[in-house]
Structures are given as C-alpha cells and as structure tokens.
Amino acid sequence: MIPTPELIAQGNEKAIARAISWVENNHPQAQNLLMQLNGNADVIGITGPPGAGKSSLVNALAKYWSAQNLRIAIVAVDPSSVFNFGSLLGDRLRMQALFLMPNIFIRSLSSRGSLGGLSGSIIEVVDVLKHAKFDKIIIETVGVGQSEVEIAGLADTTIVVSVPESGDEIQTLKSGIMEIANIFVVNKCDRNGAAAFASHLKKLAHSRSTIDWETPVLLTNAVSENGIVELSDAIDKHTQYNKGNQRMNYLYAEKAYTLIQKNRMQGIHIQTLKNEIETLRNQNNFNLYSYVASKLQKA
C-alpha cells in the first residue's frame, strides 16, 4: 500500500503505519509525502525516570479520552542498544488493554541511539499523526533522565511524572528535567511521602510561576485511575493557555532546525563511522579531529 495523504487523512491505519515506516527508514518518497501533510492535534509529552509509571499513566489517560469518543494516537519510544540499536519495544506489552479499542492507534519507536529520550524521526511521525486527524497524540519518552528535555521542544504540554521516592527538595531543585514541566505528576500516590514530595514540587512551581501560569502538581495512581480526570482537566487548561503563547514560535524554529540538521546529516551513518574508525585505528596513526575534519570537507 502506498500511503497517500488522502488515505492518512481518512484514518486508514495501514496507510498511517506505512507512512510512519517510510519516515523512520528514510524512504525515497517520504520527503514528498511530508510536504503534502498538514493538520493540528494536541501533543502531550509524558516523561520522567524509569519506574515512575509513565506507561500506566498513558493507559489511564487513553482509556479516559477514548470513553469520550476522542481519537488517540500513542507513540511509545523505547530505548535501543548502544551497540546494535535494536530495541525490545516493550511498551506494547504494557498497553494490551488498549489494542482492541478502535479509536486508539499505538506505535512503538526505537530511540535508535538518540540521546534526547526520543526517536530521531519523532517530528515526522507526529506530523503524520496530525494529518490523520487524531484529537490527542501522546508521546511517552524513553525515561533516561535529565537529557530528555527534547520533549519540551515537541509537545504542546509536557508532563513530568515522578514518584514519592524521587528525592528530597534539594535534589528536585537540582534536577534539570523538572524545568521543562508544564504539569507535575506524583504517581503512585498511595506510597509514603507522596504528600510531602508534592509539597516540595508545589514550592518549586510557585517560585517559577508567571502571571498567567503556575505549573500544577497533581497526585495520581494510574493503576487505580485516581486523579486521571483532574490530570485531563489540567492538560486541557494548559492547551488553552498555550494557544496564545509565543513559545510556539520557538517550537517551530526548533523543529525547522532539527529537520535541517537531519537533512545535512544524510549519508552519515554511525555503523559506517565505526567501521572506518576501526580500520584507521589499526594503522596506529588515528586522530579523531583530523578524521572529523575530513568528514566535514566531504559533507
């Protein structure tokens, strides 16, 4: 099947899936397809450390929105091996309850060595899903820690998920990932220390608040679905606030920069670099900076 813009806009799942595969694998016709796409949808990024319950939170939100007859797309980014870039794509295993829901589309992506918690083709994937007229697009990041700030440059609303054991107030203040949150979520709120940790986050949020927005701190238990309605309301409120925010201009500039950077890097592959470096190092005269300079001259 050739994924035409018309089929994607009709919500044809085979066409959507094939289009995503095209942009992931740099298909020769992918660029032409992307130039014909347009659309708008709320993009919600969910990030946080491993074990915080991000997948459970995605499950609960998707079920809640599905019950409201909204069309939901979920993009779950899984970590890849630093050696062969393979990935288990295990988030699918945690979302089995959503598979049979007709208005939910799930796609797992491998980070393929990307260090920012996302996949290198995530921008293009999201644009395909926007053209497919989904109401909400949820992106669940790898969960690698403070380097995941890339999600702030892609999502309309970024949710940082933590658990009561995430650390004391000083650790929270030092944590760079906390600076990207539009909404804080303390998940697994039935555990000891949840209220105290939420209080620390509220102090942090208040100290960085503006006249128009103070980052809310919500307590949830994704497994029992407690706090999901309040989280949905907070997302909707932030979406309305963000529509008139000049930050969108910065987001589009970031997207353009990333696409230009990716285009300039075409033809440069990490495996090729590894093989060349291995050969040169065996000659005992390898110099990393001279090697990089030679690559830049050819680019």
Q: Shortest CA distance to 150 belongs to which of 172, 180, 128?
A: 180
State the pLDDT at residue 172: 56
**Helix (H) or strand (E) run with residue 136 in it:** strand 136-140
Q: Does the global pTM surpass 0.85? A: no
**Residue 94 burial by Cβ neighbours in a 10 Å radius (0-12, 13-18, 19+):** middle
With a CB cutoff of 8 Å and minimum separation 6, the contacts of 222 are 53, 56, 57, 59, 60, 187, 188, 228
Alpha-carbon distance of 260 to 138, in angstroms, equals: 25
Q: What are phi and psi of 183, to 5 degrees?
A: -140, 130
Per-residue pLDDT tens over the stretch 109-125? 875 544 444 556 788 89
Per-residue pLDDT tens over the stretch 251-274? 678 778 877 887 788 778 888 899
Q: Are 183 and 157 in contact (CB under 8 A)?
A: yes
Per-residue pLDDT tens over the stretch 136-158? 999 998 765 544 567 777 888 99
For residue 197, give the 3-state DSSP assignment.
Answer: helix
